Amino acid sequence: MLNFSNGEVQDWNDYYSYGMEHFGTDTGAGYRYKFNGIERVSGYADFAFYRGLDPVTGRW
């Protein structure tokens, strides 16, 4: 996420090919919109309420 008022990077995340997150590379800023702009919902197994691609296997 980029703050356009001063150009400072607020958050970044790195992903594998199918959307699995590279752990240890994020900023920990708590920005909830992650891969493909889908909101991360804590308390659920993963991203909620859409036909999701398994980020480990790349299968629906």
Written as one letter, the residue type at 39 is E
Q: How far apart are CA 41 and CA 45, in angstroms?
A: 9
As a whole number, mean pLDDT of residues 6-26 equals 72
What residues does each domain of the chain span?
1-60
What is the pLDDT, as a whole number, of residue 53?
67
As a whole number, mean pLDDT of residues 1-25 equals 71
As a whole number, mean pLDDT of residues 9-32 equals 70
What is the pLDDT, as a whole number, of residue 31?
67
Phi-psi category of 45—alpha, beta or left, where left has phi over 0 and alpha has psi -120 to 50? alpha
- Write the pLDDT tens digit of every residue in 22-58: 777 656 666 666 666 666 655 555 545 556 667 677 7
What is the pLDDT, as a whole number, of residue 5?
74
